[in-house]
Amino acid sequence: MSPDPSCKVDATIDQYGLETADPRHESLNDGLLARWTGANGHSDVGYRTLTEWFNKRLLKRVYDEHGREALDAQIDADYEALTSDDGLIREETIERLETVGIDGAQLLDDMVSWGTMRTHLNECLDGSKERSDARTDWEQNSISAAREVVVEKTDEALSSLATKGELDGTRSSTVEVQIHLRCDKCPTRVPLEVALERGYVCDQHSDATSSSNTHS
């Protein structure tokens, strides 16, 4: 599939000349799809993990071009600092990169968000991925267990309140637990089941990176 110049992922690949280093793939896009779906011997990964992998490839490419140490540990540390929620840490990292001739602010702006990666995989590359129920069993079991604990503890408390005469009707009522997720940046609040079904809590603030890194 030909690169889409309007897509930030394709534009970044083209701008920085990013290529696959894996002989199993003809292009970096082929590698992205394979890693996402678990093809060609890869273990399938989610959007966020793949986005981080892509951005670190970008970081390594720039470091190589400027003769900066590009060991995995250094890449991991710098990436964490560049995408930190702490503005001071970000600025210090950007300034440190500038001393070796790297435009850290531009590099950060050229990194992509997981929402952009999601669109790229599903729409630009026409990719598809079957949901693995087995892979999510432990998460679902943990949520169910948490609900059961809340129900049990609430039932005990209600029974005590009824015994003290502080609450009537507990014997003919049932405790229901609904988990909601709230966006920390706006009033959006949705049931957990809704968030799981659509893949995000808040569409406007779905990017996990800092508010200053709107890599759309």
CA dihedral 52, 58, 64, 66 (to 10 degrees): -120
The more confidently predicted of residues 66 and 6 is 66
Among 126-135, 175-184, 200-209, the range with the most confident prediction by mean pLDDT is 175-184
pLDDT at 214 over 50: no
Q: If you average pLDDT over residues 171-178, what whole number do you get?
A: 78
* Residue 184 zone, left/alpha/beta (φ > 0; ψ -120 to 50; rest): alpha
The more confidently predicted of residues 44 and 121 is 121
In sequence order, the β-bridge partners of residue 191 are 180
pLDDT at 207 over 60: no
Provide φ and ψ at 182, rounded to 5°. -115, 130
71-123, pLDDT tens digit by residue?
Answer: 989 999 999 999 888 889 999 999 999 999 999 999 999 999 888 998 999 99
Domain boundaries, the chain: 8-124, 132-176
